[in-house]
Structure 1
Amino acid sequence: FKWNVFNVCYTTVGRDQWKNPPAEYRQLLRELCEFSHARGLEVMAFINPYYLWREHIHISRDEDIDALVRTCSISLSAGSRKVMLCLDDFASPKLPYQLIHEDDRQRFGDLASANIYLINTLYKRLRARYPNVELFVVLPYYWLPRDYYREAGEKYLKRVGTALHPAITIVWTGPVVRSLVITEEDIHRYTQLIGRKPFLWDNTLYARHTPPSYLFDEFVTQYPRNMHELTAKGVHYNAGGSEIYKVGLITAADRLWNPEAYDPERSLRQALAIIGGPRCVDELLAFRNAYYELYDSWMHVFESLAQLKKHLPSIKTSPLDEQDINSLERLLDGLQRAFDAVQRRCDNAQLVEELRQRCKRFTSSRKVIAESRKRMSASQGQVQRIIIHATMEGNERDVLRNIGCYRGAGGARIEISHDAYEGTQSAKLTATEWYPLHGRDWINVGLMIGNTDGYSGINALQVPAFTKCSFSLWIKGNVTKATISAVGWKGKCGRVDRHALPIRVRRPDGTWTQLNTKQEIQLTNKWHKVEGYFTTLLDTRRVALRIGIVGYRDRGAQLGTIWVDDVRIWYYQLDE
Structure 2
Amino acid sequence: MRRTTRRTASGVLGTAALILVAGCGPNQAAGGFPPPPRPALVGAKTASEPEDLPAITPKPRQIRRTSPDIPIPERVQLRTGQGVDEATKELVRRTFESAGAQHVDSGEQGNDAGNTALTVIVGTTDDPMVTQSLKAADVTVTAPLPDEGYVLTVEQRDDGGLVVLAGNDSSGAYYAAQTLLQLAGGGKIPGVSIVDYPAAPLRGVVEGFYGRSWSFTERLDQLAFYGAMKMNTYLYAPKDDPYHRDRWREPYPPDEREKLRKLVEQARRNHVRFTFAISPGQSVCYSSTRDRDALRQKMRTVHDLGVRDFSIAFDDTYPLPTWGCSEDIARYGVLSEATAGMAQADLLNAIQRDFLDTLDGTRPVRMVPVQYSEVRESPYKQALREQLDPRIQVMWTGTDVLPAAISTEDARQARAVWGRKVLLWDNYPANDFDKTKGRLLLAPYDKRDSGTTDELAGFVLNPMNQASASKPALFTAADFTWNPEGYDPQRSLRNAAEFLAGGDEATAEALRVLFDVEHYAASWTGEIWQAPAPELKRRLDIFRTKWATSDRKEAIAELRSYAKRMTDAPATIRKGVVDSRFVSDIEPWLDALQIWGQALASACDALDARVGGNEREAQARFAEMRNLATQAEKIRTRPGTTREQGPIKIADGVLDAFLREAPGP
Higher relative contact order (CA 8 A, sep 6+): 2
TM-score when scaled to structure 2? Answer: 0.43
| Superposition TM-score, scaled by structure 1 size | 0.49
Q: Which has the higher helix share?
A: 2
